[in-house]
Structure 1
Amino acid sequence: MSNPYRDKRWTRKRDAILRRDSYECRNCRRYGKHTLASTVHHVYFLKDYPKMWLVNDNLISLCNDCHNKMHNRTNDEATELAIYWQLKQAPHLKKYF
């Protein structure tokens, strides 16, 4: 898979996830805030879990600020916030581990 984000399947899935989440950031919603989501995030990072590329339970809508908080841009590792979401979603993704 050269660039999965250019694949039509990703474009369709991304649109479906944004609709599922009512175009709201799921992380902001935890705090009662209603922020427009602009990104669909892989809870378990695509580079580590390519089989979960298009799995609904591995995808959440986020605003740009929250998406940046998921990634340590220095070492490309998951942040504490990203690990929170991984633990939250893990029960729904057992069959992929």
Structure 2
Amino acid sequence: MPEPDDRLRNLGPKSRAWLAEIGITDIDALREIGAVEAYARLRFQFGRSISRNMLHALAGAIADQDWRLLSAEHKAELDAAVAQRLAGA
């Protein structure tokens, strides 16, 4: 398994290791799959140990910004998209 990219913004070693376990090892792979799908796959693999903060961190990594700077509206859109995605899983 490839080593996770330590330059993924907002994501510490444990989060990067989780992503690597589902096949996401760099920002390009994360961008390709998107924050919502990556989060859904993480939840499927690791259950409730994956929090909504992870969803926001993933979106921040894709945008190359601190996840805490995402607007409340953007976070709400992400949360709604995840709820819909998980309901269909």
Q: TM-score range by the shorter chain?
A: 0.3 to 0.5
TM superposition score normalised by structure 2: 0.37
Q: Higher helix share goes to which structure?
A: 2
Indicate the structure with greater strand content.
1
With CA pairs under 8 Å and 6+ residues apart, which has the higher RCO, 1 or 2?
A: 2
> Please, what TM-score do these two structures have when normalized by structure 1?
0.35
